[in-house]
A and B are shown apart, each in its own frame.
Chain A
């Protein structure tokens, strides 16, 4: 036992650190991090973009969903070194003024309770509509299955996805 704890007295090893130029929300951002760092924490801790949420860290809850190209991915399982040239879109970059059809529908239906999971829900829903502009109820349920809402706003989420699809068609 070390009752007084450990103090960092030696120079830290930085051999795994590297510089990454990332295309995020239409801008190039440069970070100097360990290549294994998940995009979630690059966004939140290094770029102060905290709209992407930490929920489980193992790609089971969907709170950290971002777009990689046109696809919804879980940023907690996406090492920064794997991103390369691919374009990343986060909730902050989904639209310039918060007026993406999915965001507008979310406000119209007044979906959130606590609101914590909703950025991830919106990112999954907007990727779904990009690939499938008029999804059926079953297609919505399947696409959204990886995003947990602990407050139970699922019926409103479904309504908002349908509304966004209607308004966009």
Chain B
């Protein structure tokens, strides 16, 4: 039995009731405010109760036993809108069929970490969600105890029914909800045993599935309101340019156009958080009646742009102050690559050093050295950036897709000159995130536009706006070196990695701790092209580079690639190099996924015509090993199958977790193989999907199979971890299939020589 201290205070409930508009409105309707009589729970319709009773900020119970569970976090496709309520429902002991899920608004009093980032939704809320369900279960028992005049400890709660065996009394949750809602919150509550979970660990389908396949309004772009105007932006055509002047006479004469103006987003002295920043602080705004009219009018504005000077942005990230330098000038991809090559050849900043790597390399019988690179990437969420705002004199309502409502709220309030409590932010379902919607400048933009127009406004980016606006995955470069002695033992390891504008290095990750003489260095290059977090930041390149190098090294040493990794992990587990605390992974769990993938793929039993590559990586608290099988169709490599072995602790929703594993593999293959954003004179050369290549149906693996390690460890994330390692597995399988080692992404444009 696990007892946890309840931290749900009564005060918080009252606040929530006020904020959620009485707590009685089920879901929000984009088109009007009428309350639905029925709601869809997991694809079926449920009769709505006459009255709801709010038990705590996470759930309310209807008089007919139907339960509404709030999903606090942004839903970007990682399926938290299903899996977070599952955790509450399991502890509450309610039949999943009787659950309706509602997206919670931003409420920092009630919820913590309302962020879709770092694969942390489940892990950071695991205890709170369990506690919310368990607290409600306890209060329902106490309500029944009061009604029946029996001790609460004698009452059982199973699937929404309260029973007292000795007296034979039973009641549904709905019967006791009104009493339960009046009770004091217990100081401590009992959590279920892991072995007693009945919803957690079972596959539950996407709660929005029916709405998605029938085209119901769900996303930010679907928001419509009475009197709503549409806004579009025009930003400088190149990084390094800024607005000089414009003439909007022609645009203003076009049908439906209300206003054209320039908008400065932040004052120069605004104390920015890293997630507030934007590539272009001054943009042109077109406001009109309909989206198409606004898109057309944008093209009709005559604009003069001028060169921007050097800019240094001061910003904070979780309490750390930093300065980001954006040098003046128009940058080119060729210039980027030559700068990276120039710096990789020099000594860089030492991030970690164990033993005496210089000596090891000096004494080496053989040195293996390989370099890897990747280009900038645009996130390209399928739903372009957009947001809705309705700002009045003393209130701001914002609604739309954001990964960071909590972090953006202060920037919106500051820009509008409103106190924080006058800004309400709600989240729609989001057409992808991948890190792009961590940076919510579009929320500040639409709020400022709505304030100026004194009307509800939806801001809509075109695909071109979205792709050319910045906040890209940085371009990276890494060189790996290994020192081998005369007996082919690994005696030294050196990684030097840099990027524009950040280094992808994780100095304390594997194989740090497994090699006596180890050196990790990093360097950075300033740029005026804005970059940001992209699904599994930094890992999304360095994993593939490292895992390709280890594969090549294993071959050089005459070892099986899985055996080689396991030997290193054994060393890291039994006798780690350096301070064991500084090694940023658990060697036994790391080895665990490699052992599982070896078993599940019958690794080592070669099949005619199947070329395999393996890779394993740890990031965002989860461990993933993948094997990728290629068959050659003529001279074309085809990914036949991907098999994944994953340790993310307790798997809340196995079917949905498998979906993320599949998506991560497809996404990783796609970006490593096909995608890249290049620059000429400061402008992105790819502005839409005609030139920016994303993986498509026929290029995806024909089959993907996922296996989870079974353990009782608290769950960790699934959004990011399956994405980085597959790039290594792809490169390693391509080598087996083609005899060429691929080093430079996207591989489709790499022209490596035949090896050996």
Contacts and interface: CB of A to CB of B under 8 A. Distances in A.
Contact of B255 (A34, A46, A54): A34
B260 A155 contact: no
Contacts of A4: 261
Given A8-B258, A50-B217, A112-B206, 18 more contacts: A5-B262, A12-B257, A16-B255, A34-B255, A48-B31, A50-B221, A53-B431, A60-B689, A61-B463, A91-B214, A107-B210, A114-B431, A114-B432, A115-B77, A116-B381, A150-B434, A151-B667, A153-B662
A6 B205 contact: no
Interface string A16-60: 110000000000000000100110010011101111111111101
A81 to B, nearest CB: 13
Contacts of A13: 253-255
A41 B290 contact: yes
A166 interface: no
Contacts of B78: 113
A7 B701 contact: no
5 contacts: A51-B216, A53-B221, A112-B213, A141-B697, A144-B697
Interface string A101-116: 0010011001011111
A28 to B, nearest CB: 20
A152 B219 contact: no
Nearest to B669: A152
B707 to A, nearest CB: 16
Contacts, number: 228
Contacts of B256: 12
B629 to A, nearest CB: 14
Given A6-B259, A60-B689, A107-B43, A113 B660 contact: yes
A92 interface: yes
Contacts of B660: 113
A56 B463 contact: yes
B702 interface: yes
Interface string B569-581: 0000000000000
Nearest to A55: B382
Give 9 nearest A-B pairs by CB, closest first. Answer: A51-B215, A5-B261, A152-B666, A116-B431, A114-B77, A91-B215, A154-B700, A113-B77, A60-B689
A152 B292 contact: no
Given A114-B432, A145-B697, A150 B262 contact: no
B701 A155 contact: yes
Interface stretch (B57-65, B176-184, B244-252, B596-604): B244-252
A156 B659 contact: yes
Interface in A70-119: 90-92, 94-95, 98, 103, 106-107, 110, 112-119
B663 A153 contact: yes
A82 B370 CA distance: 57
A58 B462 CA distance: 11
A10 B363 CA distance: 82
Given A50-B222, A150-B382, A153-B662, A58 B689 contact: yes
A147 B382 CA distance: 11
Contacts of B463: 55-58, 61
Interface of A: 1-8, 10, 12-14, 16-17, 34, 37-38, 41, 44-46, 48-58, 60-61, 63, 90-92, 94-95, 98, 103, 106-107, 110, 112-119, 122, 137-138, 140-142, 144-158
Contacts of B397: none
A107 B213 contact: yes
B397 to A, nearest CB: 19
Given A5-B260, A44-B291, A152-B695, A114 B382 contact: yes
Contacts of A94: 214
Contacts of A56: 463, 688-689
B703 interface: yes
Most chain B CB neighbours (cut-off 10 Å) among A13, A45, A122, A140: A45
B429 interface: yes
A10 B249 CA distance: 11
Nearest to B43: A107
B437 to A, nearest CB: 11
B76 interface: yes
Contacts of A145: 696-698
Contacts of A156: 659, 662
A51 B222 CA distance: 8
A54 B256 CA distance: 20
A55 B380 CA distance: 10
Interface string B181-211: 0000000000000000000000101101110
A112 B689 contact: no
B690 interface: yes
Interface string B323-346: 000000000000000000000000
Nearest to B664: A152
B748 interface: no
B384 interface: yes
Nearest to A61: B689
B697 A154 contact: yes
B702 A12 contact: no
Given A5-B259, A41-B290, A116 B663 contact: no
Residue among A52, A61, A92, A137 with the most chain B CB within 10 A?
Answer: A61
Contact of B431 (A5, A8, A115): A115
A144 B285 CA distance: 36
A34 B293 CA distance: 9
Nearest to A98: B214
A163 B428 CA distance: 31
A1 B292 contact: no
B253 A3 contact: no
B237 interface: no
Given A58-B689, A148-B382, A152-B666, A48 B224 contact: yes
A84 to B, nearest CB: 20
